[in-house]
Amino acid sequence: MEIITLGTGSPIPSPDRAGPSTLVRVEGRSFLVDCGRGVQMRMAAAMAAAPQLTAILLTHLHSDHVCDLNDLITSRWVMTPFPNPLTIIGPVGTRRFVERTLQMLEDDIGYRIAHHEDLTEGPVVNVIEVESGIAFDDGTVRILAEPTDHAPVAPTVGYRFEAMGKSAVLAGDTVPCPGLDLLVAGADVYVQTVIRRQLVEQVPMQRFQDILDYHSTTESAAETAARGGVQQLVFTHLVPQPAPGTEQDWLDDAARHFTGNVHLAVDLFSLSI
Ligand SMILES: [Zn+2]
Ligand SMILES: [Zn+2]
């Protein structure tokens, strides 16, 4: 199983970090977890393409995690010379979000059908809404979902990929919570979106301070990892973006609570288990 952090940024635009998105490759399948800003540019760098995705999984519907979904839907549709339904798995509310996205794309869909003789219908999308339990299972790869806590954003879910005796947890934005603990227990890899509390607290802007109460921090994510006995912890969705030369500070936060390997992800960081 290979886990590639395609985008490790946050809502704040960065020249170096695309929006949150992680690719999981396992046994010939490719899963995309969240699809933030610039995801397809990073997919191209990782030799992944929308037509080949097995499924897209969304952790929640915050814009920074879903803003390029429309681009993936369109690209898969126009880049495949045959009907190629796209499976989108996400929390309750995903169906409505996808319907609205397709409405937004209506003009473009019309232009392309009118122009290409072999294109006779619009993109086909299968949406699966999940709350708790099996989100995907094809006999080789199993993906479990559990509710997470990103209130007032609700519902939100995290995912645990299981295949070939290995497991990787891809949590979205969440504070530590029972659902997250269930997913993380005994995992080989735990990827968590984090903020660094002591830096966020220094920003004199209420809107920035607001994010403190609904994200895992470098320290609380490490506590979750320790509780779950995971092997490796990966920090992504880094807020604020680490200044060059300060990377070790983020790792030191984690080391106070967790003795396993910790990785501070950059775009296209890859971990194989
Ligand atoms: Zn986010
Ligand atoms: Zn969020």
- Kindly give the distance from the C-alpha atom of residue 117 to the centroid of ligand 1, in angstroms, as a whole number: 40
Question: Whole-angstrom Cα distance, residue 14 to residue 38?
Answer: 11
pLDDT tens across 30-50, in order? 999 999 999 999 999 999 999
Give the CATH number, domain containing residue 158: 3.60.15.10
- Kindly give the distance from the C-alpha atom of residue 271 to the centroid of ligand 1, in angstroms, as a whole number: 22
pLDDT tens across 155-197, in order? 999 999 999 999 999 999 999 999 999 999 999 999 999 999 9
- Grade residue 254 by pLDDT with cuts at 50, 70 and 90: very high
Give the chain's domain count.
Answer: 1
Residue 64 bears catalytic tag: yes
Predicted structure pTM score = 0.98
Which residues crowd ion ligand 1, with CB under 5 Å? 64, 173
Range of the domain at 176: 2-272
Residue in 64, 149, 173, 253 annotated catalytic: 64
pLDDT tens across 80-122, in order? 999 999 999 999 999 999 999 999 999 999 999 999 999 999 9
pLDDT value, residue 19: 98
Tokens representing 246? 């300060």
Residue 127 main-chain phi, psi, to 5 deg: -105, 130
Residues in contact with 94: Cβ distance below 8 Å, sequence separation at least 6, in sequence order = 58, 61, 88, 127, 129
- Kindly give the distance from the C-alpha atom of residue 250 to the centroid of ligand 2, in angstroms, as a whole number: 20
Q: Which ligand has an atom closest to residue 59 CA?
A: 2
Segment 122-139 shows an average pLDDT of 98
Question: Whole-angstrom Cα distance, residue 21 to residue 34?
Answer: 5
